[in-house]
Amino acid sequence: MARETQNPSHHQAWRWHAKGDFRLDEVETPQPAAAGVIVRVEAAMVLSYMGKVLDGSLGYALPPAPFVPGTNAVGIVEQAGSSVLHLRKGERVFLSPHLVADERAADPAQILIGLTATGTSRFDGVQSASTTLQSLWRDGVFTEMAHWPAATLTSLAGLSDLPPERALGIAKLVVPYGGLLRGRLQPGETLIVNGASGYFGAAGVVVGLAMGASRVLAAGRDQAVLERLAGRLGPRVVPVVLGGGPQADVEALLAAAGGRLDLALDLLGQATSTDTTLAALRALRRGGRLVLMGSARVPVPLAFGEMLSNDWEVIGAFMYPKDAPARLVRLVEAKLLDLGAIDIKRYAFADLPKAIEGAAAMRGLDMTAVVTSG
């Protein structure tokens, strides 16, 4: 339960002031901008790497200090700006941090609210327009009241029967969903999720099933996590332990699938080797697609002849389309996607530092939520 604020015109917010200075402040609750919405946050997701973001070790392009970190949340609309047309006071909404400027530009500014501006090399080469956009919408969701652009909010009216932290599961699923949309996964196709024992990789397995994949190879290095994942999600999921070497990994994938596959989604995090990425690519059929959404500290060595002779398609995908959260909500409403598969660990709002520390140990279907009400 969040601490009660003495002054109703103010609220509590966790703000990053400088490296090593992250504290709970009392701040003024603003009036919404014309295109903005004031949301009373009920539950906020904690990324597994949030601690590394705040200590600077990941090198993200952070908003101007002081700012409120935090990327995804579920909450209740308290007040909407004068130009907001689709949201009303009292409506439950999902907050997505991916904001792209709605301007007719070849390369519109984009940011992840409460986390980073983005550039030509993930977080390098940030254009000045993105920095300006970030200064306008700097504060994330580790707060009692969030002021966010209406363009990033999705109504959860159809999920009103779910607790807010359960509805927050959309936040874990929407990133790999964006990759599978970009890779054009079709019902009946076969899928490899590389990095399936990780936070977003496990979510990619869940979404792949909901989108109709006939078989999903949950590939990774942590055998115990992969086997638990398959046990939870059913017979269409086949765990495949990788790391035995490039050729051995290809053979393991082909044996598990009973042949070559249609699509691979790579969600490795800060990988020091791309051997398993190449194995996933080489397990694809002619004309297969590989979607890169994770991160690696070394390049992926692609050979011209091999790429051309196999008609492979390699796709880089950052985040997800604007309507992706609403499309996931519809899958949940249709009982095609079960948010109950996600294992949620709850922390009180006042215990956010503990939540950040605990989130670093998440694996598989784990999710960490800071709950500010209930």
DSSP secondary structure letters along 65-128: SSB-----EEEEEEEE-TT--S--TT-EEEE--EEE--SS-SS--EEETTTEE-BTBBTBS--H
**Rounded Cα distance, 176 and 263, in Å:** 13
210 and 306 belong to one structural domain: yes
Global pTM value: 0.94
Lowest mean pLDDT among 11-25, 71-85, 118-132, 161-175: 118-132
pLDDT of residue 1: 41
Q: Are residues 166 and 24 in the same domain?
A: yes
Tell me what pLDDT residue 222 has. 94
Residues 166 and 196 in one domain: no
Residues 127 and 211 in one domain: no
- 208 with 240, same domain: the answer is yes
Are 246 and 273 found together in one domain?
A: yes
Residue 260 lies in a domain: yes
**Rounded average pLDDT over 10-20:** 96
Label residue 4 by pLDDT band (50, 70, 90): very low
The answer to whether position 5 is within a domain reads no
Residue 324 lies in a domain: no
Residue 119's pLDDT is 67
Among 39, 245, 264, CA closest to 152: 39
One domain for residues 44 and 190: no
Q: What gap in Å lies between CA 319 and CA 175, rounded to an integer?
A: 5
Give a yes or no: residue 327 inside a domain: no
Tell me, yes or no, whether 222 and 110 share the same domain. no
Q: Which domain holds residue 145?
A: 10-172+339-371
Whether the pLDDT of residue 120 is over 70: the answer is no
> Is the sign of the CA dihedral 30, 36, 42, 44 positive or negative?
negative
330 is a domain residue: no
Look at the chain and report how many structural domains it folds into.
2
163 shares a domain with 16: yes
- What are the pLDDT digits (tens) for 5-14? 456 799 999 9
Confidence check: pLDDT of 349 > 80: yes
Which pLDDT belongs to residue 126? 83
19 lies in some domain: yes
Q: Which residues contact 17 (CB under 8 A, 6 or more apart)?
A: 23, 65, 66
pLDDT tens, residue by residue, 254-301: 999 999 999 999 999 888 999 999 999 999 999 999 999 998 889 999
Residue 49 CB neighbours (<10 A): 18
Q: Are residues 50 and 74 in the same domain?
A: yes
Is the pLDDT reported for residue 34 higher than 80? Answer: yes
Residue 24 belongs to a domain:
yes
Q: Tell whether 196 and 128 lie within a shared domain.
A: no
pLDDT at residue 219 is higher than 70: yes
> 190 and 163, same structural domain?
no
